[in-house]
Amino acid sequence: MTSKHFLPSPLLPQTLSPKHFSTPSKRLLPSLSSKPIPNNHSFWLRTNGFYSLPSPSDSSPSPAYSQDLEDQPSDTRSLQILNHKLKQLGIDITKSVAGRENRLMCPSCKGGESGELSLSLFISLDGYSASWLCFRAKCGWKGYTKAAADGKPSIENLGLVNKVKVKRQITVESLELEPLCNQLTAYFAERMISSKTLKRNAIMQKRSGDEIAIAFTYWRKGELVNCKYRDIAKRFWQEKDTEKILYGLDDIADASDIIIVEGEMDKLAMEEAGFRNCVSVPDGAPPSVSEKEVPAEEQDTKYQYLWNCKEYFKKAARIILATDGDLPGQALAEELARRLGRERCWRVKWPKKNDVGHFKDANEVLMYLGPSVLKDIIDNAELYPISGLFNFSSFFDEIDQYYHRTLGYEFGVSTGWRALDNLYNVVPGELTIVTGVPNSGKSEWIDALLCNLNEGVGWKFALCSMENKVRDHARKLLEKSIKKPFFGVGYGSNVERMSVEELEKGKKWLNDTFQLIRCENDSLPSIQWVLELARAAVLRHGVQGLVIDPYNELDHQRPVSQTETEYVSQMLTKIKRFAQHHSCHVWFVAHPRQLHHWIGAPPNLYDISGSAHFINKCDNGIVIHRNRDPEAGPVDLVQVCVRKVRNKVVGNIGDAFLSYDRYMT
């Protein structure tokens, strides 16, 4: 039936305010006035759960609080004081009902973008106290105050809110719901929702004077449980003191596949695409995912509607989360998955609308792309991600790049020594353990390797070398890069010393290539401290290699209950995760334990002091060894013993010999 109160526009009718939907109360709160209230004062009329509101001209403005209140009767005086305190907070109670919940505009959030009446206000029957709570998830403002003369408003808790325990029994007749008028049917038609779908889902309307709202009826086993209203401004409110359940609940009884959407319109859109096994949440989406653990069922108030319907999910093998594509919608999907079990959840990805955005929800896809596209989106829902659990399809792009060698360094980076090319190549993200007896040249070999990598592929490095003074380490690196001795006396007396110009050029190279990790006091650094600074060096300076030299110069405090073997295992795990996450190669120097019966042969990786985990957990294990006996062979040969290579693509077990030039390296 056409309503004369509709505008010519095909949009919704005039706004129907949620305050029209308060339930009756035996005791009503009068409009506040500084004068005695006459017997013929207009109270709100009780009519089937609705109040006929007086016009603004019928209400006297609330006065400022003054000492004249002491002359008022006690009930009136309390109301005046309470009114004054609440007005200080921006809450106007001149049209509120005592002893019942009142819905008002929240002064803190102004009802958000939709301007909904989200503030629930409760005033005690005696008028001595008031408590309030904003039900918008992005706000949540709450408080409690009394009318005591010396009291002050408190916004810290809602401890004394009277909550109705008994759920209201409602019917279509008691709510005075009506079939949809032609204008509302046309409104749904514009959103691609047919009359058949509207009728099957019992979409109705509610009148109050000249205003009409859409009524979404919530049913369970054929019984009306709740009713949610929507006006032209897309403001929502629900019947109070009713049970919270999912919209469309009877449509998922005994369903093995269940679709969950964010709004009633999306539920109707799913039906147009052929899916009746769909429900909508009643309260929209949270602003973000809670950082707290999921509370117990009886304390999970925000998602009580799920627990009230938990029996409907027992037989479900697959739950498709088709919430909105914005951040709150994705937060809702995560909160639902946390409670329903990620292992049986799936999710949809809404298609692109243009170059900068995607379609937001099911109804928008239906309106612009049609029911067949919406059906395809649901049919192609993907497994909901579980942290730490993947399938190979998530990595197919990377695997393809690896096959076509477009990732870079698939075969590693050459050390610069041809004798090592078939044995050891440097791969980003790996851990190389380097060991050897004292004075065998471990640090010298690593320094030379870094110079080669910088010269060959331009890598930069972070150096945590606690055994070297900065000036000594700079000298060693400069000599290897410039290939001239730093000094012209002693060990370099027979070779031309580097010039001042070469020194200045070398200093710039040092500064551009290396970052130093060093303690500025006498304390020993922990491995966690080193890795945090190395991470900063990766992100700030783009370093691709980290040297930690040596292990025994770190602070290795560990719990009394933890063995050294357990500690080393945990430490190496941290280093490997750092290397892999930042695609940074790590060289970790570890000395062998004291060799009482050493006869001059290279030590084994299992000889490293501390734990066998040094060889078990590393990607590459190298022993650097130098002959000390002139009768046994040349003393200037450095033996590089590659004892472990995890990745067979980049190396092999074997030995290589390098010549050490004391004057230039």
Average pLDDT of span 17-24 = 40
Distance of CA 41 to CAs 63, 96, 181, Å? 18, 15, 37
Q: How far apart are CA 65 and CA 63, in angstroms?
A: 6
Q: What is the pLDDT of residue 154?
A: 42
Question: Higher-confidence residue: 662 or 524?
Answer: 524
User: Is residue 282 predicted with pLDDT exceeding 90?
Assistant: yes
For tokens 């949270």, the residue is: 286
Q: What is the pLDDT of residue 323?
A: 96
User: Is residue 310 predicted with pLDDT exceeding 50?
Assistant: yes
Q: How far apart are CA 239 and CA 227, in angstroms?
A: 6
The secondary structure of 511-540, three-state, reads HHHEEECCCCCCCCCCHHHHHHHHHHHHHH
No. of helices (H) and no. of strands (E), the chain: 15, 24
- Can you read off the two tokens belonging to residue 563? 């063995």
* CA angle, 355 then 359 then 360, to 5°: 130
For tokens 């506040």, the residue is: 32
Question: Higher-confidence residue: 281 or 408?
Answer: 281
Q: What is the pLDDT of residue 72?
A: 46
Question: Higher-confidence residue: 261 or 236?
Answer: 261
Q: How far apart are CA 456 and CA 180, in angstroms?
A: 77
Banded pLDDT at 598 (limits 50, 70, 90): low
Instruction: Give the DSSP H or E segment for 51.
Output: strand 50-52
- Mention every residue, 6+ apart, whose C-beta is less than 8 A from residue 71: none
Q: In what order do the strands lie in the sheet with 278-280?
A: 278-280, 257-261, 318-321, 345-347, 382-383
Question: Higher-confidence residue: 419 or 128?
Answer: 419
Q: What is the pLDDT of residue 24?
A: 37
User: Is residue 377 predicted with pLDDT exceeding 70?
Assistant: yes
What are 162-210's pLDDT values in tens digits? Answer: 444 568 899 999 999 999 999 999 999 999 999 999 999 999 999 887 8
Q: How far apart are CA 134 and CA 503, in angstroms?
A: 70
Q: How far apart are CA 608 and CA 650, in angstroms?
A: 24
Q: Is the dihedral of CA 438, 444, 447, 452 positive or negative?
A: negative
CB-based burial label for 394 (10 Å; 0-12, 13-18, 19+): exposed
* CATH, domain range 173-383: 3.40.1360.10
Q: Which residues of the chain does CATH 3.40.1360.10 include? A: 173-383
Q: What is the pLDDT of residue 108?
A: 86
Q: Does domain 431-659 bear CATH number 3.40.50.300?
A: yes
Question: Higher-confidence residue: 8 or 98?
Answer: 98
Write the single-letter amino acid at 251: D
Q: Which residues of the chain does CATH 3.40.50.300 include? A: 431-659
What are 468-506's pLDDT values in tens digits? Answer: 889 999 999 999 999 998 987 666 567 788 999 999 999
User: Is residue 664 predicted with pLDDT exceeding 70?
Assistant: no
Segments in 391-469 forming alpha helices (H): 396-403, 442-457
CB-based burial label for 333 (10 Å; 0-12, 13-18, 19+): buried
Q: Are strands 119-123 and 129-134 parallel, antiparallel or unpaired?
A: antiparallel
Which residues sit opposite 622 in a β-bridge?
434, 642
Q: How far apart are CA 239 and CA 229, in angstroms?
A: 8
Q: How far apart are CA 228 and CA 201, in angstroms?
A: 13
- Can you read off the two tokens belonging to residue 476? 């060693």
Q: Are strands 318-321 and 345-347 parallel, antiparallel or unpaired?
A: parallel
Q: What is the pLDDT of residue 595?
A: 66
Q: Is-contact 101 240, C-beta < 8 A? A: yes
Angle between helices 264-272 and 362-369 (to 10 degrees): 40
Q: What is the pTM of this model?
A: 0.55
What are 52-110's pLDDT values in tens digits? Answer: 333 333 333 433 333 443 444 555 677 788 888 888 888 988 888 887 788 888 888 88
Q: What is the pLDDT of residue 211?
A: 86
Residue 208: CB atoms within 10 Å? 18
Q: How far apart are CA 372 and CA 366, in angstroms?
A: 8
Q: How far apart are CA 346 and CA 340, in angstroms?
A: 11
Q: What is the pLDDT of residue 454?
A: 96
Least confident window among 157-171, 228-242, 341-355: 157-171
Q: Is-contact 104 86, C-beta < 8 A? A: no
Residue % of the chain over a pLDDT of 90: 51
Q: Are strands 514-516 and 545-549 parallel, antiparallel or unpaired?
A: unpaired
63: left (phi over 0), alpha (psi -120 to 50) or beta: beta
Q: In this structure, what are the phi and psi dihedrals at residue 449, rounded to the nearest 5 degrees?
A: -65, -45
Question: Higher-confidence residue: 49 or 522?
Answer: 522
- Top-ranked range on mean pLDDT: pick from 465-479, 511-525, 629-643: 465-479
SS3 content of the chain, % helix, strand, coil (to 5): 30, 20, 50
Q: How far apart are CA 321 and CA 329, in angstroms?
A: 10
Q: Is-contact 402 427, C-beta < 8 A? A: no
Average pLDDT of span 335-345 = 94
Q: Is-contact 103 19, C-beta < 8 A? A: yes
Q: Is-contact 205 179, C-beta < 8 A? A: yes
Least confident window among 131-140, 252-261, 485-494: 485-494
Q: How far apart are CA 556 and CA 527, in angstroms?
A: 8
Q: How far apart are CA 206 and CA 215, in angstroms?
A: 6
Q: Is-contact 467 443, C-beta < 8 A? A: yes
- Can you read off the two tokens belonging to residue 289? 């995912």
CA neighbor of 9 nearest in space, from 183, 199, 210, 260: 183
Average pLDDT of span 424-453 = 94
Judge if the upstream peptide bond of residue 428 is cis by omega within 30 degrees of 0: no
